[in-house]
Amino acid sequence: MKQGLLLFAHGARDPRWSLPFEDVARRVAEREPTLNVQLAFLEFMTPGLAEAGQTLVADGCERVDVVPLFLGAGGHVRKDLPLLLDALRAAHPRVQWQLQRAIGEVDSVVEAMALAAAALLRTA
């Protein structure tokens, strides 16, 4: 079964804002060569979730995991994203769309941030 991954980030006006997210997408793609990895944005940047999801469907993905690249899970993750995902499900009912936890709720990511914050104090 062909699988896709949608990495969903907020977006911003500053084009440099997306660099860490592009970096995450590139690293996952290198690690998982059979996976089609797409980055999508809520606002200010393109593609949006619908367009990136369409790309994965056109590539033949039968299952798509959606991972919010958000540190905190507030309205964007709990309300906006499920609505966008419902629209994708309605448009492509044969594809299995699986919403995952926000990346900031993953213990290893929290630990990496704590270690990085402590390390920054020593390198400045």
- Interface residue list for its own copies (CB under 8 A): 3, 5, 7, 9-10, 12-14, 16-21, 23-24, 27-28, 31-32, 35, 65, 67, 69-75, 78, 98, 100-106, 108-118, 120-121, 124
Q: In the complex, what is the shortest distance from the CB of residue 95 to its own copies, in angstroms, rounded to a whole number? A: 15
Which of 74, 82 has the CB closer to its own copies? Answer: 74
Which of 69, 84 has the CB closer to its own copies? Answer: 69
Phi, psi of 6 (to 5 degrees): -105, 115
Crossing angle for the helix pair 49-58 and 81-91, to the nearest 10 degrees: 30
Using the structure block, give the residue that is written with the tokens 């996976």. 35
Which of 31, 94 has the CB closer to its own copies? Answer: 31
In terms of Cβ atoms closer than 10 Å to its own Cβ (0-12, 13-18, 19+), residue 39 is buried
The DSSP code sequence of 51-113 is: HHHHHHHHTT-SEEEEEE--SS-SHIIIIIHHHHHHHHHHH-TTSEEEEPPPGGGSHHHHHHH
Q: In the complex, what is the shortest distance from the CB of residue 51 to its own copies, in angstroms, rounded to a whole number? A: 20
Q: In the complex, what is the shortest distance from the CB of residue 102 to its own copies, in angstroms, rounded to a whole number? A: 8
Q: In the complex, what is the shortest distance from the CB of residue 70 to its own copies, in angstroms, rounded to a whole number? A: 8
Which of 12, 87 has the CB closer to its own copies? Answer: 12
